[in-house]
Structure 1
Amino acid sequence: MSAVASVAVIGIGVGLWAFQPWKVFTSSELHETSPLAAEQTETGPRLLTSGRFVSQEHQTSGKALVIDRPDGSRVLRLERLASSDGPDLHVWLTDAAAGLDDWGAYDDGRYVALGNLKATHGSHNYAIPADADLDGLHSVVIWCDRFNVAFGSAALDL
Structure 2
Amino acid sequence: MKYHLKSFTLLLVCALVAVMSCKNKELTPADNVNITPGDSTGGTSSGSTTFDPTTQTLVSEGKFKDGGHPTSGTVKLYRQGTTYTLVFDSFKTDEGPDLRIYLAEDTKANNFIELVELKNTGNFYLTLPDNAEVAKRKQVLIWCKRFSVLFGSAELMAPAQM
TM, length-normalised to structure 2:
0.68
Confirm or deny: 8 A CA contact 1:19 1:87 kept in the other structure: no
CA distance in 1, matches of 2:119, 2:62: 19
Unaligned runs of 5+ residues in structure 2 are 1-16, 33-48
Alignment correspondent of 1:12: none
Change (3 A) 1:147 1:19: same
CA distance in 2, matches of 1:24, 1:136: 32
Alignment correspondent of 2:130: 130
Deviation at 1:83, TM superposition (A): 0.7
Deviation at 1:29, TM superposition (A): 1.1
The code of the aligned residue for 2:56 comes to P
**Structure 2 matches for 1:77-96, cutoff 5 A?**
77-96=87-106
Tell me, what secondary structure is at the counterpart of 2:140? strand
Choose the corresponding residue for 2:60, options 36, 49, 53. Answer: 49
Confirm or deny: 8 A CA contact 2:27 2:119 kept in the other structure: no
Change (3 A) 1:126 1:59: same
CA distance in 1, matches of 2:78, 2:115: 14
TM, length-normalised to structure 1:
0.70
The code of the aligned residue for 2:65 comes to V
Q: Segments of 4+ in structure 1 off by > 6 A?
A: none
**CA RMSD, Structure 1 to Structure 2 (Å):** 2.6
CA distance in 2, matches of 1:77, 1:84: 19
Alignment correspondent of 1:148: 148
Note if 1:113 corresponds to 2:114: yes
CA distance in 1, matches of 2:132, 2:74: 21
For the pair shown, which has the larger CA radius of gyration, 1 or 2? 1
Deviation at 1:87, TM superposition (A): 0.7
**Structure 2 matches for 1:2-21, cutoff 5 A?**
none
Alignment correspondent of 1:24: 24
CA distance in 2, matches of 1:29, 1:153: 19
CA distance in 2, matches of 1:26, 1:48: 30
Aligned residues: 127
CA distance in 2, matches of 1:118, 1:46: 27
